[in-house]
């Protein structure tokens, strides 16, 4: 398996992966209406390009030359060494094989290289991934309810000190 930096040439790939991953990941966690809305709003090719333009960094995981997932991160509070893991998504067929762990470990390396000491993420309070993040050393820092257009994001903000 390899983890590589994504470029603007990967926009269509990230869009495709998001659409393959989101439905099985969030079915039963949030409504179908919210899944469709968020895929359109956050993972359209135009929205992904804007995220690149805004300075977000994407990583792509590959196994045997085939893409298996992606991560996105950026500085959150650079003066305080806090970085945000915005996205971590793995194809269902790849889950349980260490891909998510390797993506997070690579993000952590890059954050440390930029003098970061805290990696933060949001996870839906009903998302089974919560246990995965806890196993990797993340702890619930606070509970938030974030209005997002006509939806409410019911999240935990988790942090890991590095």
Report the DSSP beta bridge partners of residue 66.
Answer: 63
Q: Please state, in angstroms and rounded to a whole number, the distance separating the CA atoms of residues 36 and 19.
A: 9
Q: Which CATH class is domain 2-161?
A: alpha beta
Check residue 77 and give its pLDDT.
87
Q: Single out the residue of 122, 73, 68 nearest to residue 90, CA to CA.
A: 68
Check residue 108 and give its pLDDT.
98
Counting as low any pLDDT under 50, the low residues of the chain are none
Q: Please state, in angstroms and rounded to a whole number, the distance separating the CA atoms of residues 143 and 123.
A: 10
pTM of the shown model = 0.95
Check residue 62 and give its pLDDT.
98
pLDDT in tens, 20-40: 999 999 999 999 999 999 999
Check residue 78 and give its pLDDT.
75
Check residue 140 and give its pLDDT.
98
Q: In this structure, are residues 89 and 56 in contact, taking their beta carbons and an 8 Å threshold?
A: no
Check residue 56 and give its pLDDT.
97
């Amino acid at each position: 398996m390899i983890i590589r930096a994504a470029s603007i040439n990967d926009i269509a790939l990230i869009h495709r992966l998001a659409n393959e991953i989101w439905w099985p990941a969030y079915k039963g966690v949030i409504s179908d209406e919210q899944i469709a809305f968020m895929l359109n709003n956050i993972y359209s090719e135009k929205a992904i390009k804007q995220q690149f333009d805004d300075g977000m960094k994407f990583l792509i995981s590959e196994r045997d030359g085939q893409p298996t997932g992606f991560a996105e991160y950026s500085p959150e509070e650079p003066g305080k060494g806090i970085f945000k893991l915005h996205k971590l998504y793995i194809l269902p067929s790849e889950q349980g094989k260490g891909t998510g762990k390797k993506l997070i470990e690579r993000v952590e390396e890059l954050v440390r290289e930029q003098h970061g000491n805290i990696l933060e993420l949001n996870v839906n309070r009903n998302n089974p991934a919560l246990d995965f993040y806890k196993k990797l050393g993340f702890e619930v820092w606070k509970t938030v309810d974030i209005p997002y257009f006509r939806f409410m994001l019911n999240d935990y903000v988790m942090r890991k000190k590095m």
